[in-house]
């Protein structure tokens, strides 16, 4: 085969891939999930679901078309938020019984602590909505939308320290290097929007000192174009996206076409899939030059929207602003939108710390639910709220009349979901009277991940990627769909 044949073959293949919505992702998915459904697919004579629109396909009809994941990094205390424990009032200041503490681990931060007094929440709780769910006074806005929520109080994780726990929740492994949920969805489902990334990450600016590793939204061993793209606050949402001074769009287009031909030629020679990732990334960057500024511009939003999300939504980079941007991205069919809000790590001074965190997030979180609902987007958008683990029911450090802290606790914590495919106004699972152990209906992190994929039409056992001789998946070798949560 001479060079002209190679070029001709490359152009033909390139043209074919351009006509498909996902290029090599479409080919990869056919081996992952067969000829199954798109989001709005219809069954053929074989009973399989064929895709319609831009989605590649799913194992079965999906309830959710996209996900907005509001990750509260640091570990919000379930006892101060949604897991009301009146029995802690009579145990307040008393030592936690050994029978309750059992075999649960404590972090090294309480290794020198000789006493472990139980401590009640300093905040009041009330029941709200038709569901009668208990909600802390620090979440007055979330309380108003509680009948749209599916609250899971029996979450369990394997990790006890922040970075491994965040990695575990986001990638299914405590070790760095595995693909994140958003990357798996990008790889498996592709995009419904040709001009924006499949997976967008938004970070709150300076919300706390708790560090956050970018591998939480990394692609791991998946092709690199499936990694999360961080949108920043300010006039340059994506670094190095704009053309250099003096370079015009038509010059950039010609350059990309020539670079694309060279990359296609290299791919024909070496068959390295990362070359195709580079082509995809170049093309996406070119499309994003026009699509991103409009997608993140909230200046034209009416005043009533800012009243819904809170005045912080006018300040770029705040959690409220990111929630509003998440809605705009959802309108444009971005598949996975990940918000990270740090600062929920209250080892000491918990009452003031968690109140401050709630104040900066509560209204915007509830506003997002209401905004999606009034636009009809909540019907096919899954919203997730939660952190990486819970907090201990005993006090870390000195317990006083108005101050205390709580250590990390993997044994139980609370998350909630809302929107596409989950039951509304539901409280699932129970913890013991101390909020220390799960008493009923445990939901492991892998179970949560399996359920999330199920809502998007994916069988978590079938979405795999072969790496170093083994087929990996998000849920590793674990996980079951919690069908009781589903409509």
pLDDT in tens, 106-139: 999 999 999 999 999 999 999 999 999 999 999 9
Q: Averaged over 152-175, what is the pLDDT?
A: 97
Q: Identify which has the larger pLDDT, 220 or 245.
A: 220
Q: Specify the CATH number of the domain 66-242+302-485.
A: 3.40.720
Q: Confidence band (pLDDT; 50, 70, 90) for 55? A: very low
Q: What SS3 class is residue 66?
A: strand
pLDDT exceeds cutoff 90 at 34: no
Return the closest-CA partner of residue 338 out of 326, 346, 328, 327. Answer: 326
Residue carrying structure tokens 């996209």: 66
pLDDT exceeds cutoff 80 at 2: no
Q: Report pLDDT digits (tens) over 337-382.
A: 999 999 999 999 999 999 999 999 999 999 999 999 999 999 999 9
Are the C-beta atoms of residues 177 and 221 closer than 8 Å to each other? Answer: yes
- What pLDDT is recorded for position 215? 94
pLDDT exceeds cutoff 70 at 314: yes
- pTM listed for this prediction: 0.84
Q: Report pLDDT digits (tens) over 459-486.
A: 999 999 999 999 999 999 999 999 999 9
CB atoms inside a 10 Å sphere around CB 1: 8
The beta-carbon contacts of 3-12 under 8 Å, at least 24 apart in sequence, are 6/265, 6/268, 7/261, 7/265, 9/268, 10/261, 10/264, 10/265, 10/267, 10/268, 11/264
Q: Alpha-carbon distance 414 to 78, whole Å?
A: 6
- What pLDDT is recorded for position 194? 81
CB atoms inside a 10 Å sphere around CB 402: 7
Q: Report pLDDT digits (tens) over 234-292.
A: 777 776 667 677 777 777 677 777 777 887 878 788 788 777 777 777 676 666 677 67
401 token code pair? 């009349």
Q: How do 149-156 and 199-203 pair as beta strands?
A: unpaired
Q: Confidence band (pLDDT; 50, 70, 90) for 44? A: very low
Q: Give the chain's mean pLDDT.
A: 86
pLDDT exceeds cutoff 50 at 167: yes
Q: Alpha-carbon distance 68 to 414, whole Å?
A: 17
pLDDT exceeds cutoff 90 at 443: yes
> What 8-state DSSP symbol labels residue 275?
H
Q: Confidence band (pLDDT; 50, 70, 90) for 61? A: very high
């Amino acid at each position: 085969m001479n060079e002209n044949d190679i070029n001709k073959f490359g152009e033909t293949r390139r043209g074919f891939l351009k006509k498909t919505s996902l290029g090599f992702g479409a080919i990869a998915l056919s081996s992952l999930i067969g000829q199954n459904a798109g989001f709005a697919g219809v069954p053929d004579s074989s009973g399989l679901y064929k895709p319609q629109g831009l989605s590649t396909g799913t194992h079965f009809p999906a309830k959710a078309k996209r996900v907005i994941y509001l990750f509260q990094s640091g570990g919000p205390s379930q006892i101060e938020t949604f897991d009301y424990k009146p029995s802690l009032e009579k145990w307040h200041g008393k030592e936690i019984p050994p029978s309750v503490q059992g075999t649960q681990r404590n972090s090294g931060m309480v290794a020198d602590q000789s006493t472990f007094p139980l401590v009640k929440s300093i905040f009041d709780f009330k029941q709200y909505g038709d569901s009668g769910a208990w909600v802390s006074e620090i979440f007055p806005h979330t309380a108003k939308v509680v009948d749209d929520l599916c609250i899971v109080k029996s979450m369990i994780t394997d990790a006890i320290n922040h970075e491994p726990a965040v990695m575990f929740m986001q990638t299914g492994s405590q070790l760095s290097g595995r693909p994140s949920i958003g990357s798996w969805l990008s790889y498996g489902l592709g995009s419904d929007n040709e001009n924006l990334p499949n997976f967008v990450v938004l970070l709150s600016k300076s919300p706390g000192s708790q560090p956050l590793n970018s591998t939480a939204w990394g692609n791991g061993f998946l092709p690199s174009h499936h990694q999360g793209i961080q949108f920043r606050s300010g006039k340059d949402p994506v670094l190095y996206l704009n053309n250099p001074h003096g370079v015009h769009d038509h010059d950039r287009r010609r350059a990309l076409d020539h670079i694309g031909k060279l990359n296609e030629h290299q791919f024909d020679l070496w068959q390295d899939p990362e070359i195709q990732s580079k082509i995809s990334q170049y093309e996406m960057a070119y499309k994003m030059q026009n699509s991103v500024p409009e997608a993140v511009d909230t200046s034209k939003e009416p005043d009533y929207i800012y009243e819904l999300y809170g005045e912080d939504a006018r300040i770029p980079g705040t959690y409220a602003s990111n929630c509003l941007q998440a809605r705009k991205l959802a309108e444009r069919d971005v598949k996975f939108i990940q918000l990270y809000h740090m600062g929920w790590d209250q080892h000491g001074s918990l009452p003031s710390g968690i109140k401050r965190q709630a104040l900066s997030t509560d209204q915007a979180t509830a506003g997002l639910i209401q905004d999606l609902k009034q636009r009809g987007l909540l019907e096919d958008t899954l919203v997730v709220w939660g952190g990486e683990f819970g907090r201990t029911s005993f006090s870390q450090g000195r317990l006083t009349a108005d101050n205390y802290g709580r250590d990390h606790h993997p044994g139980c914590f609370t998350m909630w979901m809302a929107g596409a495919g989950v039951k509304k106004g539901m409280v699932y699972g129970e913890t013991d009277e101390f909020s220390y152990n799960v008493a009923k209906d445990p939901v492991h992190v892998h179970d949560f991940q399996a359920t999330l994929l199920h809502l998007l039409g994916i069988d978590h056992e079938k979405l795999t990627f072969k790496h170093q001789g083994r087929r990996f998946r998000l849920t590793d070798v674990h996980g079951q769909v919690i069908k009781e949560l589903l409509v």
